[in-house]
Structure formats: structure tokens, C-alpha cells
Amino acid sequence: MRFSLSTGTLYPYPLRQVFRWARQAGFDGVELVINPEAAVRGGRAVQRLARAEGVKIFSAHPTVVPFPGWRERDGGMARTIALAQAAGIGLVVMHIPRSESLDEGEGLVFRQRIEGWQGRPVGSGMRIAVENKAIRAEGDWRYTLTPLDRLRAFAERYDLGLVLDTAHAGTAGEDLLQARRLFDTRLVNVHLSDLGGRVPLATLPLVHRFFGEHRLPGTGELALPALLRDLGSSRYDGLITLEVNPWSVRAWWPPAVRRTLARACTWMKKMAHAGYSSP
């Protein structure tokens, strides 16, 4: 398995700095979350920058802060794929639609895009993977690809990879080990972060979302050690990507960022490698 850092964790920082911190912390590479700098530089220049800093870009992810032309559902996914192809990135992550059907509206557009891309990314050595959805309102359960078994069947039908976001699974009350086994050989990336735990003013929905989700592993309530041991014992050979919110790494203070990333990477490797030696 390979350990990766999501650049979205440090979204406002220059990519050169994020790449350097990832390498210094012990990560094998990064997941590139598209930001204005990446869009302006272009895929080839971003790849040259990563090589200069001694890191690999394993995967690409749509922007987490909407900016013109790059919103995932407004044409930005095609640009993200094009940038990834130019950079030689082998995996692109995308999100499922907020739609109750894949035969109309946003769901139909999503399915048609998948069908249109099918074959072309594969032919260029690239794979598309879809990520499980967070549940923040009762209505989220109505979306057609929210249930993990339906998402798994969709990935099978269109030969897609699957990304298990642990915080998203936690909001849905999913058992992480069961989710991992359901995704099985389709699993290509684990977006690792914690959920819950002690959060000031957690009764306020927005506060809980921004501070209580995507926390550093080990600071919340999810069974992340068991998941990592299971991945290790099963000889999982995909990505494990630390994807946490900026507050978790104290993004406003660079010395704290460096220390926190190094501790997190060490913890992830320790938990996963424990699975290799387990009976």
C-alpha cells in the first residue's frame, strides 16, 4: 500500500510547500486537489514541480473550493481529467450525484459522462473512481448511489474504482470493515479521517461539520486502527490518503503542520503494518 496526503488539507498553501511537507512527513506521495494554482500551471508544470520536490502525484481530486470553470458538476470534471492526463496521474476521484435517478436530471448527466469517458481514460492509463457519500440529512438517503451496495454495483457495471471515505461512511453509520469488504477488489483509495469525539459547540450543525468531520485519525470515534490492520493483513495494494480538515493540522502555523503531518503518517503506517504481522 502507498500512503498519500491530500493537498486539500492545506488548500491555501503553494503546491511546492505542500509537496515538500508531504515528503518530509514520510508520505509516499499526494492526492492533488485542484486549486487555482494547479489550474493556472497546468498538468505538466504541476508534475514537474512535484518531481522537483521528490514526491509522486498518485491521484487527482476535484476542487473543494468552487472557482469559475472548475466546479465538478458544471464542467469542471472534464477539466480535472484533462489536467490529470497531462500530468500523467493514474487515478481521478469523482463524487456521486445528488439525484434519485440516473435516468433524469443530474443523475442522467452523471451517467452519460461516465459512459462518455469509459474507455478513453483507461486507454491513457488512467482510472476513474467514485467516492461514497456523506449523510448529513435524512434526504441524502434518497439519492440512488448513496447505499454502498448500489455504489458497488454501479462501479462494477462501468468498471470504476471505489474510494472509501471513512468520515463519510461514519456519518452514514456504516461499519468500516464491512464497507471495505463490500468494495473488495474495486477499492483503490481510502480517504482516511476520523469523525466525532470532543468538539466545542458540536450542537451547532455547521460547527460540527467543519470541526467534527475529517479529523485527524485517532481523535474521533471511528474504528480506524481496525480498518488499517485489516488493509494490512489483506495485503491491500492501493492508496491510503490522509484527508483531514485544515484545523486538524493547525494550518495557520507551519511548525505545527510539519509536526502533525509527521505524527499522522507515522501512526497510519504503524497501524497498517501491524496487520502484516497479525495471525
Predicted TM-score (pTM) of this structure: 0.92
* CATH number, residue 208: 3.20.20.150
Task: Read off the pLDDT of residues 4-40 as tens digits, 9 standing for 90 and up.
Answer: 999 999 999 999 999 999 999 999 999 999 999 999 9
Q: Residue 243: helix, strand or coil by DSSP?
A: coil
Say what the pLDDT of residue 208 is. Answer: 53
Boundaries of domain holding 208: 2-277
Closest Cα partner for 264 from 210, 224, 235, 211? 224
Question: Cα(130)–Cα(32) distance, rounded to whole angstroms?
Answer: 16
Say what the pLDDT of residue 157 is. Answer: 94
Name the DSSP letter for residue 93.
E
Helix axes 105-117, 76-87, angle to 10 degrees: 20
Cell of 63: 476542487
Closest Cα partner for 265 from 192, 213, 163? 192
User: Looking at the 3D structure of the chain, how many domains does it have?
Assistant: 1
Question: Cα(270)–Cα(232) distance, rounded to whole angstroms?
Answer: 10
**Beta strands in 121-185, from DSSP E residues, in sequence order:** 127-131, 161-165
Say what the pLDDT of residue 51 is. Answer: 97
Task: Read off the pLDDT of residues 240-260 as tens digits, 9 standing for 90 and up.
Answer: 999 999 999 999 999 999 999
Mean pLDDT of the chain: 91
Helix, strand, coil shares, percent, the chain, to 5: 50, 15, 35
Question: Cα(151)–Cα(171) distance, rounded to whole angstroms?
Answer: 16
pLDDT-flagged residues of the chain (< 50): 201-202, 204, 207
Say what the pLDDT of residue 201 is. Answer: 45
